Amino acid sequence: MNKVTVLGSLNVDTSFRIKSFPQPGETVQVKEKSNAAGGKGANQAVAAAREGAQTAFIGQIGNDSAGKFMLDSLEADHIDGTYVSQNESVGTGTANIMLDEAGQNCILVYGGANQALTDRDVQKAEPIIKNSDFIVAQFETPQAAAITAFKIAKANGVTTVLNPAPAPAKAIDPALLQLTDIIVPNELESASITGIKITDEASMIQTAAQFQKMGVPNLIITVGDKGAFYSTEAGHDLIPAYKVKAVDTTAAGDTFIGAFVSQIAPDFSNIVSAIKFAEHASSLTVQRLGAQPSIPKLEEVLVAEKESAS
């Protein structure tokens, strides 16, 4: 069983089902409204936990009912929330999600307490980081917090996983990349970091070389319904996605990350099987509504793997 710590965001998601996204100045009717636990970090932690990893979380909430809701949601999935701190002056993060009939989404995020996470908060979590096999970070919390966490991890032989999402508005701190063992962007995030547009396998190989120059030795690029490309010292390949009818792509990428770290070996020797497992998990997520409510459990993924093999 992998021991995974996730440093990241905790958001209460409010989802609105609509026919199509509004144009500027247009008012559209909402067919359905729902609330659920979310945030990229929390989603990834839930995915890791549901796929069998021993999971802990580092993050921050406000002193409000939304924060209690998020803590309760972590506990429900047996995620250690010891190092989720409480901010007395800033509210818990929120996300408003518009979901159209084609299953695509548009998301407005209020960072709130997520963006107030400090180095000191992370330093307090050193015991749980040191006891992990993997630590995962994204960009819904400050890069400085991720650097602190990754420094602790590297000093203790813990594998660092960076999901550079959402795509950074400014350049990634080079120090963070140099502390990253494997980076997992989607094709748009990858292009925003390297300047290389993902169009074919050659551009993916070129991207891997660019990330290596930046200090990141291993790469996975998720390319939607095309699958996932990986590059390590042992080689590279594009692993095709499993074809399903998507009804809601919310949390698909987060499910992939969490499922992947629940299965991957620290030396990445089983990267192909771990990616295929993560793709199965994501294929189940997109067939359901919501963020965390859509993330499958281990038994469901194993059934999906068995069915695809038969």
At residue 36, the pLDDT reads: 87
Which pLDDT belongs to residue 92? 97
Find out whether 4 is annotated in a ligand binding site.
Answer: no
For the chain, which domains are there?
3-21+30-309 (3.40.1190.20)
Tell me the helices (H) and strands (E) count for the chain, helix number first: 11, 13
Evaluate whether 281 touches 296 at the Cβ level (below 8 Å): yes
Residue 189: C-alpha distances to residues 145, 164, 174, 223, 227 (Å): 20, 7, 16, 11, 15
- Known binding residue 67? Answer is no
Contacts of 163 (CB under 8 A, 6+ apart): 40, 44, 136, 137, 138, 139, 183, 184, 185, 253, 257
**Catalytic-role residue among 133, 237, 254, 267:** 254
41 is in an annotated binding site: yes
pLDDT-flagged residues of the chain (< 50): none
Torsion angle of C-alpha atoms 136, 141, 147, 152, degrees rounded to 10:
-60
pLDDT of residue 135: 98
11 annotated ligand binder = yes
288 a known binding residue?
Answer: yes
Q: What is each CA distance from 125 to 69, 70, 122, in whole angstroms?
A: 22, 19, 5
Query: What value, to the nearest 5°, has the Cα angle with vertex 45 and ends 41 and 49?
Result: 175
pLDDT of residue 289: 78
- 237 marked as part of a ligand binding site: no
Task: Judge contact between 39 and 79, C-beta under 8 A.
Answer: no
User: Would you call 121 a catalytic residue per the annotation?
Assistant: no
Note the pLDDT tens digit of each residue in 221-246: 999 889 999 999 999 999 999 988 88
The 10 Å Cβ neighbour count of residue 79 is: 24
Q: Is 186 annotated as a binding residue?
A: yes
Please tell me whether 42 is known to bind a ligand: yes
Q: Rg (Cα) of the chain, in Å, rounded?
A: 18
Do residues 290 and 36 make contact, with C-beta atoms less than 8 angstroms apart? Answer: yes
Is 254 marked within a binding site? Answer: yes
